[in-house]
Amino acid sequence: MDNGPKPRKLEPGMTASPLTPGQRLDAVRERIARAAAESGRATADIRLLAASKTFSAAVVRDLAVCGQREFGENYVQEALEKQRELRDMPLEWHFIGPIQSNKTRPIAEHFSWVHSIDRLKIAERLSAQRPAGSPPLQVCIELNVSGEASKGGVSMNELQELADRVATLPGLTLRGLMAIPAPAPGLAEQRAAFRQVRAAFDALVRHGHALDTLSMGMSGDLEAAILEGATIVRVGTALFGERVHLV
């Protein structure tokens, strides 16, 4: 008989990381601080958004107790359940996943930010469905920087027209751009993709848009993103461990 400790079976929503939530949070904050210092920027100008898709409300709570306040979610139903379980915590919720038009109402009602605006119809619905008593929904347009047809986001060609339209919608405040470049092996390649996002952002500002947000950089490339001007990094794996089921 083998009476040794049984390996814990990992269920969706649990995390396999041997570090404590506080240690993982410190490590990510350290990476952000180092990249900020290297680029001559203030650490306080870069916000950490914890991308918590697939992780349970209990796991989110453990990180929130360590001081993390902003969480990004990709799936409406999953997010609403977590928000309900965590309503005693002062958290800010960002929607960062693809948006189907039949899901805009709960997003408009239950989130502070949306990073993944990629067509006018979605923006119009979110604006119309934003509750009258709430501040405008803070939004970013998702830019498809790698030109991959399978990926979300608008092309460079469509960006300015969409930005001009979104900026007129009363229920929304256009804050900037979000991008998820294709994974690249080295820092130079990663920086090149983020630099394109930054250039598109600068062009919109020159065109008259008052923007302050570049949502770019994830666990594998947040340093490159910060070096190119990211103001929000969206980090999942480095904070929570590997996701058990693929998304």
Ligand X SMILES: *Cc1c(COP(=O)(O)O)cnc(C)c1O
**Of the two residues 147 and 220, which places its CB atom closer to ligand X in the complex?**
220
Interface with ligand X, residue 234, by CB under 6 A: yes
| CB of 226 closer than 8 Å to CB of 233 | yes
CA angle 99, 100, 106 (to 5 degrees): 75
Query: Of all helices (H) and strands (E), which one includes residue 141?
Result: strand 137-143
**Of the two residues 96 and 162, which places its CB atom closer to ligand X in the complex?**
96
Options 2-10, 155-163, 165-173, 214-222: segment touching ligand X (CB under 6 A): 214-222
| CB of 57 closer than 8 Å to CB of 86 | yes
**Of the two residues 50 and 57, which places its CB atom closer to ligand X in the complex?**
50
How many other CB atoms sit within 10 Å of the CB of residue 6?
7
- Write the CA distances from 203 to 42, 159, 165, 197, integer angstroms: 24, 10, 16, 10
Q: How far is residue 66's CA from residue 54's CA, in Å, rounded to a whole number?
A: 20
Q: How far is residue 9's CA from residue 100's CA, in Å, rounded to a whole number?
A: 34
Options 2-10, 169-177, 195-203, 217-225: segment touching ligand X (CB under 6 A): 217-225
Interface with ligand X, residue 219, by CB under 6 A: yes
| x/- track of binding to ligand X for residues 61-80 (CB under 6 A) | -------------x------
How many other CB atoms sit within 10 Å of the CB of residue 73?
26
Query: Of all helices (H) and strands (E), which one includes residue 177?
Result: strand 172-179
Interface with ligand X, residue 107, by CB under 6 A: no
Interface with ligand X, residue 214, by CB under 6 A: no
**Of the two residues 148 and 161, which places its CB atom closer to ligand X in the complex?**
148
For residue 147, what are the contacts with CB-CB under 8 A and spacing of at least 6?
155
In the complex, the smallest distance separating the C-beta of residue 21 from ligand X, rounded to whole angstroms, is 15
Applying CB under 6 A, among 39, 129, 173, 237 the residue interacting with ligand X is: 237
Interface with ligand X, residue 141, by CB under 6 A: no
Options 80-88, 126-134, 196-204, 212-220: segment touching ligand X (CB under 6 A): 212-220
Q: Contact positions toward ligand X, by CB under 6 A?
A: 51, 53, 74, 96-97, 180, 218-220, 234-238
